[in-house]
Structure 1
Amino acid sequence: MTLDPGARCPCGSGDTYGDCCGRFHAGTPAPTAEALMRSRFSAFATGNPEYLLATWHPSTRPATLDLDDDTQWRRLVVVRTEAGGPFDDRGIVEFAAHYAGDGGRGVLRETSRFVREDGRWFYLDALA
């Protein structure tokens, strides 16, 4: 699904898609781990597996990624962040991603680790 740049961004920032995650999806590097995590949520919401794979660290990235067309990602709540700023090389973002699908509604809760290499943030993995 392609979003109008003037539509509200799926990540819940309150900004338009074009001023928020849309610019990251177009190639601008996310400046923080939280910005990358928000842009990845928006990629799930808009069905953009290419972006998800491109922002997944090569050491943990799957070869392919099939998104479930029946899952609609509705709302993102950032619970907390630890480091992950513009001058950090590592960061943690805990979030709750609300969704709806064939099985009803639910919430995915995750604490994700991010690393920055060569000026770009990557999703590394989820903490157990």
Structure 2
Amino acid sequence: MEMTPRDSCPCGSGAGYGHCCRPYVVEDGVAPTAEALMRSRYTAYHQGNIDYLIATHHPTQRYPGQRAAILHSIAATSWLRLRVLATEAGQATDSSGVVEFVAYYADPKPGQVHERSRFTRQKGRWYYVDGDALPPLVPKRNDPCWCGSAKKYKACHGR
């Protein structure tokens, strides 16, 4: 189903898609911060927008077979939710930034990507450079489950 501008943005910002990631992912807008780019890249994974993912990956980090690798990842993964944990720099006047996030997925088993991603801004555009994989975050038993089910972790994925 195609998303409308009024739908909630998949990046979890709480804003409508039309005022959040759509201007970057669909309308050729420029993400103003490293976090905005990270959120829009998550949305692009969620929607299967391979062109946007490649275009926002720093040119020095692109590789042969990248399109096929992303296509395989998108076909095998159902993204559930994004949580931004921390940002360092990455504002409109900075030349670099770091965003730590956790992206939850079902593939078909539930899991997560926990990463500290590095971004650089060149000629007014932010690019994803690379990231360090971090250990998974495990909720406490009575915390809400990370999958978004509204159940406690112990009654959902903590069994």
The normalised TM-score by structure 1 is 0.94
Is there any run of 5+ residues in structure 1 with no aligned partner, and where? none
* Distance (Å, rounded) in 2 between the aligned partners of 1:127 and 1:119: 25
**CA RMSD, 1 decimal:** 1.2
Q: Does 1:88 align with 2:89?
A: no
Residue matched to 1:36: 37
Q: Match of 2:94, as an amino acid? A: D
Residue matched to 1:8: 8
Once the 2 structures are TM-superposed, how far is the Cα of residue 5 of structure 1 from its aligned partner? 1.4
Q: Does 1:127 align with 2:128?
A: no
Residue matched to 1:116: 121
Matched residue count: 127
| Distance of aligned partners of 1:37 and 1:72 in 2 relative to their CA distance in 1, 3 Å threshold | same
Residue matched to 2:28: 27
> Cα deviations across residues 67-114 of structure 1 (Å, max 9, x unaligned)?
332311111000100000010000000000000122x10111011000
The normalised TM-score by structure 2 is 0.76
Give the helix-richer structure, 1 or 2.
Answer: 2
The higher radius of gyration belongs to: 2
Is there any run of 5+ residues in structure 2 with no aligned partner, and where? 134-159
Identity of aligned residues (%): 49
- Structure number with greater CO (CA < 8 Å, separation at least 6) is 1
